[in-house]
Amino acid sequence: MSMQNIRAFMPRQDLIAFLVLAVVIFIAMPLAMDIFRLNLVGKYLTYAFVAVGLVLCWGYGGILSLGQGVFFGLGGYCMAMFLKLESSTPEATAIQSTPGIPDFMDWNQITEIPWFWEPFHSLPLALIAVLIVPTIFAYIIGVAMFKRRVGGVYFAIITQAVASILTILIIGQQGYTGGVNGITDLRTLLGWDIRSDSAKYVLYFVNGILLFACLLFAQYVRKSKLGRILLAMREREDRVRFTGYDVSNFKIFVFCLGAAFSAIGGAMFTLQVGFMSPSFVGIVPSIEMVIFCAVGGRMSIIGAVYGTLVVNWAKTSFSESFPELWLFAMGALFIGVVMAFPSGLAGLYRNHVGPFIEKSYKRLRLSYENYRKPDNLVTSD
């Protein structure tokens, strides 16, 4: 890449935003917090994968998915299945009527591991599944919807339906999925105890690095012609179509990309929190994820990360005192943001903080230059 290409990919403003976020995630948070709090932030950041995907999908492409929990959950479940099989050794499960299978299967009178669990004995296969299963699922939904030109509100409702169907399926098929409790009691990854403090530190950083990988890819997409086509499509779909683009393929691509990001987040959630359950798949968590994105600013990939952190921090503090009010607060927040700050935190920053910083920076430089030229002091008045 030439210098010019790099500048086109990462203009100065964006570079600063990336660097500041890197400092926050990799230096400030780990220094300021104990491991319990840091692990909590790590958990929040797994939702940021979803929010970043939504910026591309919804902010850029105009495709509002209210079912991103599906992909987060599928990624998380793929990871959890591997971890569960690893911790269900015959020794560890000796008290079961069928030792060597996950505990919830035993409770549900299942006596052997179902076929679709078999690949999850292998970590490489499980990792591939984390990425591939949700993406293929998104691809199927995308082809079925976008090739038929289903969009807008109809698409949003269908993603809601998918989210609730999958939740019902997971809860109903208890013997294969762990039911409403999910897949719990996950302990080791290839013998490495993921519940220890040191593992939590490592996983926090792995999570941060993966998030930055996704952010950089999102930035690449945003700055490529594909990013501009998404914007064009959102505004004038017909013009794009009659310019010779197969619009549906672009929608399918960005929807699959959002799904893949979400899946990585889901897998990292499972690793850091130690379980996965249907409560991260359904309608409510899916809508929450859209709110993270909206609060951060749906056109800003970096904003989406801050939006996720802020809303989750608020949720944790708020629901400790008034758990039953949280859903209402969330709804009010969403409506408030959409009505008053359609560009979210990123918009506030761009319109108020950014110019202020720029001005202070200029003033600082000016006074510095004046200071360097002593004769100015005499002639200035």
Partner 1 sequence: MNAQTAANNEDFVLSVEGLTVSFDGFKAVNDLSFYVEENEIRVIIGPNGAGKTTVLDLICGKTQATEGSIKFRGKELTKMSEHAIVHAGIGRKFQNPSIYEDLTVFENLEISFPRGHSVFGALVFKRDAEVIAAVEEVAETIFLSEDLNKTAGLLSHGQKQWLEIGMLLIQKPDLLMLDEPVAGMSVAERKQTAELLNRITKGRSVVVIEHDMQFVEDIAHRVTVMHQGKVLSEGSMERVKNDPKVIEVYLGH
Interface contacts to partner 1, rule CB under 8 A: 8, 220-221, 224-226, 228-229, 231-232, 235-236, 238-246, 249-250, 253
CB 266 within 8 A of CB 276: yes
Work out how close the CB of 363 gets to partner 1 at its nearest, in angstroms, rounded to a whole number.
Answer: 28
- Between 249 and 370, CB nearer to partner 1: 249
Give the whole-angstrom CA distance, residue 99 versus residue 257.
40
Our CB check for partner 1 shows the closer of 170 and 256 to be 256
Smallest gap, in angstroms, from Cβ of residue 246 to partner 1? 5
Q: Which is nearer to partner 1, 150 or 232 (CB)?
A: 232
- Residue of 286, 301, 272, 294 lying closest to 341 (CA atoms): 294
Q: Report, in Å, the least distance between residue 242 CB and partner 1.
A: 5
Give me the least distance between CB of 303 and partner 1, in Å please.
18
CA distance 117 to 113: 6
Using alpha carbons, list the distances in angstroms from residue 282 to 19, 136, 138, 156, 307.
34, 19, 16, 14, 21
- Which single residue is written with the structure tokens 């500048």? 7
For partner 1, the closer CB: 63 or 229:
229
- Cα separation, 229 vs 168, in Å, equals 37
Maximum distance among all alpha carbons in the chain?
93
**Residue number, 221 or 284, with CB nearest to partner 1:** 221
DSSP letter, residue 277:
-
Q: In angstroms, give the least distance from the CB of 299 to partner 1.
A: 10
Let me know how long the chain is. Answer: 381
Measured from the CB atom, is 224 or 360 closer to partner 1? 224
Q: Provide, rounded to whole angstroms, the least separation between the CB of residue 122 and partner 1.
A: 30
| CB closer to partner 1 out of 193 and 246 | 246
Between 81 and 247, CB nearer to partner 1: 247
- Name the residue nearer to partner 1 (CB basis): 233 or 295: 233
CA geometry: angle 306, 310, 315, nearest 5 deg: 145
Task: Output phi, psi for 259, to 5 deg.
Answer: -65, -45
Rounded to an integer, what distance in angstroms lies between the CA atom of residue 18 and that of residue 7?
14
Residue 142 CB contacts under 8 Å (≥ 6 apart), including other chains: 248, 251, 252, 255, 256
Q: Amino acid letter at 180? A: V
Q: For the chain, how far is it from start to end, CA to CA, in angstroms? A: 50
List 188's β-bridge partners, or say none. 193
Min CB(235)–partner 1 separation in Å: 5
225-to-220, 221, 228 alpha-carbon distances in Å: 10, 8, 5
In the complex, the smallest distance separating the C-beta of residue 241 from partner 1, rounded to whole angstroms, is 5
Instruction: For the CB of residue 222, give the shortest distance to partner 1 in the complex, in Å.
Output: 11
CA–CA separation, 372 and 180 (whole Å): 69
